[in-house]
Amino acid sequence: MKHFVAIEQLSVNDIHQLLDRALAFKQGEVVKPQPRFIANLFFENSTRTHLSFEVAQRRLGMQVLPFDASQSSISKGETLYDTLLTLEAIGVEAVVIRHSENNYYEPLVDKLKMSIINGGDGSGHHPSQSLLDVMTIREEFGTIAGLKILISGDLAHSRVARSNAYVLQQLGAELFFSGPAALYDESFNTYGSYCEIDEAIAEMDVVMLLRVQHERHQNNNDDTKTDYHAQFGLTNERAQQMKATAIIMHPSPVNRGVEIADELVESKRSRIVTQMQNGVYARMAILEAITQ
């Protein structure tokens, strides 16, 4: 595997192999250090993805070059391609990139020798988040096949939802989507069905909330946030309707009291912190596969 840019590029066997490696890393498997130069180019803000990639890289013994987009020649008008060409010339073998442009990697992958790992592109793809989410579900239930999974929230703007919908369907889950009709994208009909959250929640094995991306919305007042929680969020009352074995997930950052009640974020059925932990191991598996 030279690049890791979209979960759709992987076969079911590829996904299971990556999951097996991620779980092995979590169980303490140690690998020989890989003293390769790698850089993380994040053109959008990030905490979990950026830092968990860096922890994963350091655990694999990689040499991480610091890169600050605001201090780079991109601020002078240099193209992303020329920046990557420079990094490649000085010995960087792989880059992790987050970019606001959908499919930014398409004109790059065939022009460069270095490997590209997509850390998120616009509202397009977030394959490493998808892998850690699937890891978390498989770790909980032992399988994905046959599970009923609800993905609810700002679907129109969610790269996480797009990647997860594809991979979860491929692995045999039955998918349901919910949230405001104005924030629904009919392309998700390919993977499952739209429903009201109150109609579905009692039957779900996994309830996956999505961040309301307020920065993309014109109306961002407190009343709107409160209304969203009551109409579409995972309230305490809705959580009480969930199956005893069902779990709560969220890719984070969480808008507490908006898509999910504050006290549910760290509740016994929540796997939100586990997702963060698994992000390191999933990204170790991706980095290992890319650099072998």
128-271 carries CATH number 3.60.110.10: no
- Average pLDDT, integer, range 119-134: 96
Percent of residues, the chain, with pLDDT higher than 70: 96
21 is in an annotated binding site: no
The pLDDT of residue 70: 81
The pLDDT of residue 215: 47
Band (34; pLDDT cuts 50, 70, 90): confident
Band (6; pLDDT cuts 50, 70, 90): very high
The pLDDT of residue 228: 92
The pLDDT of residue 224: 67
Report whether pLDDT(255) > 60: yes
Q: How far is 132 from 147, CA to CA, in rounded Å?
A: 17
Find, among 134, 184, 128, the residue nearest to 158 by Cα. Answer: 184
Domain 3-125+277-291 in CATH: superfamily? Aspartate/ornithine carbamoyltransferase (3.40.50.1370)
The pLDDT of residue 216: 45
Domain 3-125+277-291 matches domain 128-271 at the CATH topology level? yes
211 is in an annotated binding site: yes
The pLDDT of residue 214: 53
49 is in an annotated binding site: yes
59 is in an annotated binding site: no
271 is in an annotated binding site: no
pLDDT tens column, 188-246: 999 999 999 999 999 999 999 999 875 444 455 455 677 899 999 999 999 999 999 99
The pLDDT of residue 139: 97
The pLDDT of residue 217: 46
Report whether pLDDT(281) > 50: yes
126 is in an annotated binding site: yes
37 burial (CB, 10 Å; 0-12 / 13-18 / 19+) is middle
Residue-averaged pLDDT of the chain: 94
252 is in an annotated binding site: yes
Does this model's pTM top 0.75? My answer is yes
Band (69; pLDDT cuts 50, 70, 90): confident
73 is in an annotated binding site: no
Q: Mean pLDDT lowest for which of 37-41, 92-96, 182-186?
A: 182-186
Query: Domain map of the chain by residue range?
Result: 3-125+277-291, 128-271
